[in-house]
């Protein structure tokens, strides 16, 4: 419940505190996120190998969630740069599931179409498309589609690597499909319905 | 006899096929029995989790449900890939921590006639069962060709020791399992403080500059410490450091040549297997010179390309380099 504490009044804060965004993100995160426990110590940002390239460190992002800054949070490149190395997660004194919160924010940004750079969302979506079609990853299909779409100029420089991978048998030309694809499709379809109602 | 259910993961028969071949070569000397989970599917890597929650966990849980049906003499699932290991362990853990998630995932699984009771299986990584079940003594006994003289840095990667839901590892940031195992094989193990630093994961695909920076840190530090090769336990780490090393070199104007092999490949060599049996030769940064230090001869599979007669050839698109932006700004 939004509320006005005496402390907020004394601090000159005239608006009621609205934690609905924080709660929404917390509820949408797998496991128990502990997000509301963040004490703003900054251990996460200090542990992050890619913090230098982020719009906001995880600590800043969590303060923004608390402040209800929905659009700014979902436009931030921070979740998309997270490499899921879990350094922050094991160091966080409050046991916030930081990497999982980042996954939640990515999903919310895709849903609200509020990302600034489409490279990462498209990559995730192309990858998932392959898995939903074949039940397995398909690297050649994923790589060609993704690079043609987002890094066409990188392709000539990468040809030797791609050809090396193919000639050494490390990248299959054709995808592999699981036997019971129909079963997997039924499971994923039902899961998507459940996602919408949750 | 150690019996396990095996979840190989997609990369094991493509980019990391050397890992699979070398794993197959060590099961017999170590009396390991691995039974593949029937009709397993992709775990979604780090991509599906960022799109939809319930479908992502249902995708992972289908594998756990299939494995649970196969548990007649073991309930331990072994994954050789760190990302697969983490995803399977994570689904199992969160389905218990948040029972509503478990209930929804099971509702989705029911649409395919499956169910999974979280906590029913033990999810473990390959190196975990090798070090703690098979044991270093048994591994030492199987060594016929010690790797003495081979200077290696052990690279554990990030998704294996962290977040460590089941408290399986000696440390989250400086675990020693891989060091101990390589020492048991007789290799010269060099201390490598970056052992659990990130290789960039999927950033090679979506933010190459960030990834090149991370790969550069790992490779240059290994090189400075005098390593002849890096040794990994993860297909993603192997792929990033092996296949993107050339692009990283172009980006920074460096000339590193740091091979990276799977620990199972070195185990195979130490157990007296031929390089061809353990998938050596398919890495893009050749391990030929490094392995010459221990008297292993890797047959040349490919003739080096003939040098170009003239420097000037057909106009080609320029490669992406770190200084490109600056040069263009000067123009």
Decide if A170 and B282 are in contact by the 8 Å CB cutoff.
yes
SS3 of residue B207 by DSSP: coil
Task: Choose the weakest-confidence range: A5-14, A26-35, B53-62, B316-325.
Answer: B316-325
Give the domain A6-112 fold: Fumarate Reductase Iron-sulfur Protein; Chain B, domain 2 (1.10.1060)
Decide if A168 and B41 are in contact by the 8 Å CB cutoff.
no
Residues in chain B: 331
**What's the number of domains chain B is made of?**
2
Query: Residue B192's domain is classified under what CATH number?
Result: 3.40.50.11810
A8 band by pLDDT with thresholds 50, 70 and 90 = confident
Query: Which residues belong to CATH 1.10.1060.10 in chain A?
Result: 6-112
Residues B54 and B166 in one domain: no
Shortest Cα distance, chain A CAs vs residue B171, angstroms: 10
10 Å Cβ neighbour count for B268? 27
Question: Given CB atoms, is A33 within the 8 Å cutoff of chain B?
Answer: no
Residues B101/B61, Cβ–Cβ less than 8 Å? no
pTM of the model: 0.92
What ipTM does this complex have? 0.92
B219 band by pLDDT with thresholds 50, 70 and 90 = very high
**Owning domain of residue B261:** 144-292
Instruction: Choose the final residue of a domain: B92, B125, B158.
Output: B125
pLDDT tens digits along A149-186: 999 988 888 888 899 999 999 999 999 999 999 999 99
Residue B35 lies in a domain: yes
pLDDT tens digits along B84-102: 999 999 999 999 999 999 9
Residues B95 and B28 in one domain: yes
CA-to-CA distance for B278 and B215, rounded, in angstroms? Answer: 25
Q: Which helix (H) or strand (E) holds B203?
A: helix B203-206
Residue B136 lies in a domain: no
Residues B104 and B21 in one domain: yes
- What's the pLDDT at B82? 97
Exposed (0-12), middle (13-18) or buried (19+): which is A91, by Cβ within 10 Å? middle
A189 CB-near residues (< 8 Å, 6+ apart): B111
Which residues in B97-129 are b (16+ Cβ under 10 Å) and which e?
bbeebbebbbbbbebbebebebeebbbbbbbbb
Residue B138 lies in a domain: no
Residue B303 has pLDDT above 50, yes or no: yes
Which residue, B176, B99, B94, is CA-closest to B132? B176
Residues B174 and B80 in one domain: no
Question: Given CB atoms, is B216 within the 8 Å cutoff of chain A?
Answer: no
Residues B106 and B167 in one domain: no
* Average pLDDT value for residue range A95-111: 96
Q: How many CA atoms lie within 13 A of A65 on its CB side?
A: 26
Residue B18 has pLDDT above 60, yes or no: yes
CA-to-CA distance for B262 and B22, rounded, in angstroms? Answer: 8
Q: Which of B18, B42, B282 to mutate to test the interface with A (most CBs of A within 10 A)?
A: B42
Residue B325 has pLDDT above 70, yes or no: no
Residue B285 lies in a domain: yes
- What's the pLDDT at B328? 42
Q: Which helix (H) or strand (E) holds A128?
A: helix A119-134
Residues B153 and B94 in one domain: no
pLDDT tens digits along A49-65: 999 999 999 999 999 99
A110 band by pLDDT with thresholds 50, 70 and 90 = very high
Residues A92/A104, Cβ–Cβ less than 8 Å? no
Residues B121 and B148 in one domain: no
Please report the sign of the dihedral spanned by the C-alpha atoms of residue A98, residue A103, residue A106, residue A112: negative
**Residues 60-79 of chain B whose Cβ lies under 8 A from any Cβ of chain A:** 62
Residue B331 has pLDDT above 50, yes or no: no
Q: Which of A49, A105, A178 to mutate to test the interface with B (most CBs of B within 10 A)?
A: A49
Question: Given CB atoms, is A152 within the 8 Å cutoff of chain B?
Answer: no
Residue B36 lies in a domain: yes
Residue B299 lies in a domain: no
């Amino acid at each position: 419940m939004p509320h006005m504490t005496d402390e907020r009044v004394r601090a000159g804060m005239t608006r009621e505190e609205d934690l609905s965004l924080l709660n929404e993100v917390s509820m949408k995160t797998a496991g128990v996120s502990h997000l509301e426990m963040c004490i703003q110590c900054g251990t996460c940002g200090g542990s992050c190998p890619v913090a230098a390239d982020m719009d906001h460190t995880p600590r800043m992002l969590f303060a923004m969630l608390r402040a209800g800054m929905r659009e700014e949070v979902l436009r931030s490149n921070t979740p998309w740069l997270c490499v899921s190395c879990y350094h922050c997660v094991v160091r966080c004194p409050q046991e916030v599931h930081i990497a999982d919160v980042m996954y939640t924010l990515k999903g919310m940004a895709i849903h609200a179409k509020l990302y600034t750079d489409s490279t990462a969302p498209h990559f995730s979506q192309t990858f998932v498309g392959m898995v939903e079609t074949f039940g397995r990853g398909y690297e050649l299909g994923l790589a060609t589609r993704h690079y043609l779409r987002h890094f066409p100029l990188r392709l000539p420089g990468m040809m030797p690597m791609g050809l090396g991978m193919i000639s050494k048998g490390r990248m299959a030309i054709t995808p592999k499909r699981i036997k019971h694809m129909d079963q997997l499709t039924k499971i994923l379809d039902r899961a998507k319905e459940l996602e919408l109602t949750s | 006899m150690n019996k396990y259910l095996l979840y190989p993961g997609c990369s094991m028969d493509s980019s990391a096929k050397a890992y699979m071949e070398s794993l197959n070569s060590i099961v017999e000397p170590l009396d390991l029995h691995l039974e593949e989970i029937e009709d397993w599917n992709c775990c979604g890597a780090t991509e599906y989790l960022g799109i939809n929650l319930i479908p992502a966990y249902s995708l992972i849980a289908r594998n756990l449900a299939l494995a649970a049906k196969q548990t007649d003499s073991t309930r331990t699932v072994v994954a050789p890939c760190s990302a697969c290991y983490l995803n399977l362990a994570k689904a199992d853990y969160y389905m218990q921590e948040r029972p509503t998630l478990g209930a929804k995932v099971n509702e989705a699984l029911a649409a395919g006639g499956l169910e999974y009771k979280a906590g029913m299986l033990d999810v473990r990584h390959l190196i975990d069962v090798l070090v703690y079940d098979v044991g270093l003594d048994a591994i030492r006994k199987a060594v016929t060709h010690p790797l003495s003289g081979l200077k290696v840095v052990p690279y554990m990667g990030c998704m294996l020791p962290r977040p460590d839901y089941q408290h399986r590892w000696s440390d989250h940031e400086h675990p020693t399992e891989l060091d101990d195992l390589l020492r048991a094989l007789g290799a010269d193990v060099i201390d490598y403080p970056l052992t659990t630093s990130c290789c960039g994961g999927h950033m090679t695909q979506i933010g190459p500059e960030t990834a090149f920076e991370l790969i550069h840190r790992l490779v240059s530090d290994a090189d400075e410490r005098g390593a002849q090769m890096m040794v990994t336990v993860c297909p993603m780490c192997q792929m990033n450091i092996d296949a993107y090393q050339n692009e990283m070199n172009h980006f920074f104007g460096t000339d590193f040549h740091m091979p990276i092999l799977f620990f199972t490949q070195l185990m195979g060599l130490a157990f007296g297997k031929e390089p061809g049996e353990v998938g050596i030769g398919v890495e893009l940064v050749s391990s030929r010179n490094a392995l010459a230090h221990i008297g292993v001869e890797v047959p040349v599979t490919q003739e080096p390309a003939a040098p170009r007669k003239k420097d000037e050839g057909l106009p080609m698109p320029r490669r992406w380099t770190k200084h490109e932006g600056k040069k263009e700004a000067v123009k």
